[in-house]
């Protein structure tokens, strides 16, 4: 609460003489007491820890159990294959996450390496790590602030705090101010300076009141250091699916033993059969396939300028229904721009105009004075100095008025610097054979020192009606959230002292400037709304400014849809959560408020994306379901805390990323339903054969081959299916929605039943071809191998063909284009080729318990295998009609 105390009280509490500062001994003692001025962090995760973290998944646990059981029954090849799947899945996740979570290290890099302090009565430069509470810190232009400081002296001091507060314009500082309200926002505490902010103008001195983790930056670091890992909607669905499949496998094994006891069959043989059935019930390739599909999605998204740091975040994007965006630099351009200028009686709107404009004589004089009365520079696309002055130089360049040429032609002789009391700055420049005073500043202060006005290229008396008109135009601009700056001049034939400059001036006019919205953002916000996504603006800037930008972009319609941080503090958490849907703009908020806003939206069941670029955005980026950082203007801290980074800093990319996320989820769902249909077919085929006391049509090795090789290729191809062009015309998916919603469960059952029955039919045909029936007593090994080969190939081929039908729930394969997913066609061809290889090459045929088929057998196999595809396509046609 140092901002609420006078400088005298602060000095007394720290027991220090500002003229002398701390002694070397006292500084050493305090360094031992308070520790180094650096931020703490959790230890960095090793590759081993990251690898083990990938294994914390119910599906992986089920696979590990399957690997152990197959090892115990000496099916070593099967064990190795399953373990390779587990390792592949983990490796994909580790590669993607290896560079993640660098937020605290980035914060440490941000803190300034050297600081100017007064010790033993001498100003010395020290390592900022050695700054301690009570140190007298000396600030000047271009220097970073090394700690949180209560200012005790300031002269025209301005500090750029956008990374911490979100404000585009440097804050004016005044050591003499005292703020009694304990809820005063950081951006309004004019008597304080904060760690890692930058002094842009003037000078000052202050006492270090907080160092290291006690600073405002430190508080953000502690929030980021809190582990808030949450499962994404996809992870929750897969975890739920893993549990179901795990219990299903256990239930099947128990049921088989019960049946074996009833039928008085060999228990060890039934144990092997139950293992086969458990293998059939579990889609062993699912975890790896989901990881591969997500990784491919990440690669695609990098091509649209979105870098995803964690694989599951890709899918979460598809569920987003609220985008909370920082204003400065995200929705706006983060550069002050003059959009209006007024010289009586003309108001010119130049917000949409191109460069190379022509100015009236009055406008030329106005811009000339504003540029000559500025210290900023702008060359080769880079500006230095106050953003407001850079905006004035850019204004001149649009009218072909070069700052460099003006300053060379009208050389500055002397100046009266800006100060926060006068709110004015004046310069004296050479002008023809004499001199001219150029003054800029607050229009109300300009009018007080003017006696004439420049109207229609003439100097006329400044009447009350003219003053009223200037003030009315100023009020109009202020109501539009523009920052207004006035200018005046006076000619003289002698060099004036600074005290005589600001008297009897001629008012030229005024300009209004704002940090304008990004040009492409408005269309993106409209597209987001059509897709059922609600855009929200969160900013540290003033309420009127924020609402003006929000109205222009279509985020808000009125001031009533906005709320400030102070108003949030006046509400209880419950009341705030109940009313949060009424607000579209949150202004003057602190980092803590941003987290509170994100949490309140999430508490209502929303999937929240938070975008931002500053240090102040980092905690809310971490707490959001999807934190999105800006790649160009974003701080390393924001990038470290985020899930996704936009390499082009374009809000539009978020909307494209959400579209990609929706398509990726849809594709993963296709892969999951496809795999479950296949596995259900396998379970039905084996379970019915056992129930009816028939020979088992498939062995564990054959099932593992189908699950890991034959099924996996089309499942991956479905995962890269071209996106649905209408996906952004739909509402966001309910994150609690099951994989089996919207008829997907029914499709899985129909497909599974058909595949299972046709596999059994092929097995029966194989026995019948060799002269056996299901009622035959013992079946010869040759006949059983032939029948199992028929069943094995029909199972694999029917699943391969069935994958074509999984591409769309309602459109037939001809409607969406048979060849529109060439990867799928290729995967089917490779799958059929692999089946041919397995049953043809002798040593592989022996390993899998199969043998070669003749041409007639292949025709029958293909005919059987096409049935599930044809039935499903007919169902689509009839259901649509």
Residues tagged active-site:
326
Q: How far apart are CA 667 and CA 723, in angstroms?
A: 8
| DSSP string of 294-327, one letter each residue | HHHHHHHHHTTTEEESSHHHHHHHTT--EEEEEI
Residue 317 tokens read as 């994007």
Q: How far apart are CA 755 and CA 680, in angstroms?
A: 8
Q: How far apart are CA 585 and CA 410, in angstroms?
A: 46
Nearest residue to 367 via CA among 405, 386, 395: 395
Question: Strands, DSSP E only, in 107-164?
Answer: 114-119, 122-127, 136-140, 148-160
Compute CA distances 179 → 145, 169, 215, 295, 569, whole Å.
21, 21, 19, 52, 17
Q: How far apart are CA 84 and CA 712, in angstroms?
A: 14
- Which residues, 6 or more positions from 502, have their beta carbon under 8 angstroms from its beta carbon? 416, 422, 424, 426, 437, 439, 449
Give the residue carrying structure tokens 């397995």: 838
Residue 370 tokens read as 């504003």
- Which residues, 6 or more positions from 13, have their beta carbon under 8 angstroms from its beta carbon? 5
Q: How far apart are CA 563 and CA 554, in angstroms?
A: 17
- Which residues, 6 or more positions from 46, have their beta carbon under 8 angstroms from its beta carbon? none
Q: Cβ(274)–Cβ(689) under 8 Å?
A: no
Torsion sign (Cα): 574, 579, 580, 585: negative
Peptide bond into 345 cis (omega under 30): yes
Q: How far apart are CA 433 and CA 210, in angstroms?
A: 56
Q: How far apart are CA 484 and CA 510, in angstroms?
A: 7
**Backbone φ/ψ region at 448: left (φ over 0), alpha (ψ -120 to 50), beta:** alpha
By the 10 Å C-beta count (0-12 exposed, 13-18 middle, 19+ buried), 13 is classed as: middle
Q: How far apart are CA 12 and CA 28, in angstroms?
A: 20
Planar angle of CA 628, 630, 631, nearest 5 degrees: 120
**Backbone φ/ψ region at 356: left (φ over 0), alpha (ψ -120 to 50), beta:** left
Q: Give the up-direction half-sphere exposure of residue 572: CA atoms within 13 A in the CB hemisphere.
A: 3
By the 10 Å C-beta count (0-12 exposed, 13-18 middle, 19+ buried), 830 is classed as: middle
Q: How far apart are CA 758 and CA 391, in angstroms?
A: 75
Q: How far apart are CA 772 and CA 786, in angstroms?
A: 12
Planar angle of CA 764, 768, 769, nearest 5 degrees: 115
Q: How far apart are CA 252 and CA 260, in angstroms?
A: 12
Task: Tell me whether strands 306-308 and 585-587 are parallel, antiparallel or unpaired.
Answer: unpaired
Q: Cβ(157)–Cβ(139) under 8 Å?
A: yes
Residue 166 tokens read as 């979100």
Q: Three-state DSSP class for 730?
A: coil
CA dihedral 841, 846, 852, 853 (to 10 degrees): -140
């Amino acid at each position: 609460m140092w901002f609420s105390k006078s400088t005298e009280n602060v000095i007394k509490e720290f027991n220090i003489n500002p003229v002398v500062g701390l002694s070397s001994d006292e500084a050493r003692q305090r360094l031992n007491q308070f520790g180094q001025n650096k931020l703490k962090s959790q230890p960095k995760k090793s590759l081993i820890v990251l690898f083990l973290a990938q294994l914390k998944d119910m599906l992986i646990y089920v696979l590990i159990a399957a690997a152990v059981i197959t090892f115990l029954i000496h099916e070593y090849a099967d064990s190795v294959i399953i373990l390779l799947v587990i390792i592949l899945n983990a490796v994909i996740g580790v590669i993607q996450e290896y560079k993640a979570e660098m937020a605290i290290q980035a914060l440490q890099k941000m803190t300034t390496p050297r600081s100017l302090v007064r010790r033993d009565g001498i100003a010395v430069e020290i390592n900022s790590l050695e700054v301690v509470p009570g140190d007298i810190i000396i600030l000047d232009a271009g220097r970073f602030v090394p700690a949180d400081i209560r200012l005790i002296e300031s002269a025209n001091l301005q500090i750029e705090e956008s990374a911490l507060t979100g404000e585009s314009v440097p804050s004016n500082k005044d050591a003499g101010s005292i703020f009694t309200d304990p809820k005063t926002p950081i951006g309004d505490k004019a008597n304080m300076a904060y760690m890692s902010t930058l002094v842009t103008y003037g000078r000052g001195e202050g006492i270090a009141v907080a160092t290291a983790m006690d600073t405002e930056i430190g508080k953000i670091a502690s929030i980021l250091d809190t582990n808030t890992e949450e499962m994404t909607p996809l992870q929750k669905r897969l975890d739920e699916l893993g549990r179901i499949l795990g219990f299903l496998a256990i239930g099947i094994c128990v049921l088989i033993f019960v049946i074996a006891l009833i039928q008085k069959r060999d228990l060890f043989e039934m144990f092997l059969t139950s293992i086969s059935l458990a293998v059939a019930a579990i889609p062993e390739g699912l975890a790896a396939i989901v990881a591969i599909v997500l990784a491919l999605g990440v690669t695609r998204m990098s091509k649209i300028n979105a870098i995803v740091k964690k694989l599951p975040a890709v899918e979460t994007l598809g569920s987003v229904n609220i985008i909370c965006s920082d204003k400065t630099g995200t929705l706006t351009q983060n550069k002050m721009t003059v959009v209006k200028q007024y010289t009586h009686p003309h108001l010119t709107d130049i917000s949409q105009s191109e460069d190379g404009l022509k100015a009236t004589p009055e406008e030329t004089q106005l811009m000339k004075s504003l540029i000559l009365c500025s210290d900023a520079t702008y060359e080769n696309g880079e500006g230095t100095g106050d953003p407001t002055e850079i905006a004035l130089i850019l204004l001149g360049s649009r009218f072909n008025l070069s700052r460099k040429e003006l300053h060379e032609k009208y050389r500055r002789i002397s100046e009266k610097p800006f100060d926060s009391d006068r709110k004015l700055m004046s310069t004296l420049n050479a002008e023809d054979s004499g001199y001219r005073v150029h003054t800029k500043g607050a229009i109300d202060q300009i009018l007080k020192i003017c006696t004439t006005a420049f109207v229609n290229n003439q100097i006329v008396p400044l009447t009350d009606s003219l003053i009223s008109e200037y003030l009315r135009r100023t009020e109009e601009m202020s109501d539009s959230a523009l920052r207004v700056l006035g200018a005046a001049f006076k000619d003289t034939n002698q060099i004036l002292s600074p005290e005589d400059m600001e008297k009897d001036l001629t008012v030229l006019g005024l300009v209004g400037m704002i940090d304008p919205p990004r040009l492409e953002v408005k269309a993106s916000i409209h597209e987001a709304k059509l897709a059922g996504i609600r855009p929200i603006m969160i900013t540290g800037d003033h309420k009127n400014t924020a609402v003006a930008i929000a109205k222009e972009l279509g985020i808000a319609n009125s001031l009533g849809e906005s709320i400030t941080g102070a108003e949030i503090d006046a509400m209880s958490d419950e009341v705030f959560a109940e009313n949060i849907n009424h607000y579209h703009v949150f202004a003057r908020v602190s980092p803590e408020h941003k987290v509170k806003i994100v949490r309140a939206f999430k508490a209502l069941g929303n999937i929240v994306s938070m975008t931002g670029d500053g240090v102040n955005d980092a905690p809310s980026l971490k707490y959001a379901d999807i934190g999105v950082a800006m790649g160009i203007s974003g701080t390393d801290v924001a990038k470290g805390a985020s899930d996704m980074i936009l390499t082009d800093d374009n809000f539009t990319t978020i909307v494209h990323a959400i579209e990609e996320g929706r398509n990726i989820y849809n594709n993963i769902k296709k892969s999951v339903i496809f795999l479950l249909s296949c596995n259900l077919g396998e379970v039905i085929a084996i379970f019915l054969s056992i129930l009816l006391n028939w020979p088992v049509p498939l062995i564990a090795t054959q099932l593992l081959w189908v699950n890991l090789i034959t099924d996996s290729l089309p499942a991956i191809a479905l995962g890269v299916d071209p996106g649905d062009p209408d996906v952004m015309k739909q509402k966001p998916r309910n994150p609690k929605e099951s994989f089996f919603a919207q008829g997907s469960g029914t499709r899985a059952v129909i497909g599974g039943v058909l595949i299972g029955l046709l596999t059994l039919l092929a097995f029966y045909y194989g026995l019948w071809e060799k002269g056996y029936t299901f009622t035959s007593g013992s079946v010869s090994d040759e006949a059983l191998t032939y029948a199992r080969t028929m069943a094995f190939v029909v199972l694999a081929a029917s699943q391969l063909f069935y994958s074509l039908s999984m591409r769309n729930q309602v459109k037939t394969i001809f409607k969406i284009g048979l060849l529109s997913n060439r990867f799928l066609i290729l995967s089917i061809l490779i799958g059929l080729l692999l089946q041919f290889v397995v049953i043809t090459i002798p040593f592989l045929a022996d390993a899998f318990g199969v043998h070669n088929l003749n041409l007639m057998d292949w025709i029958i196999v293909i005919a059987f295998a096409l049935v599930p595809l044809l039935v499903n396509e007919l169902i689509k046609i009839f259901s649509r009609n």
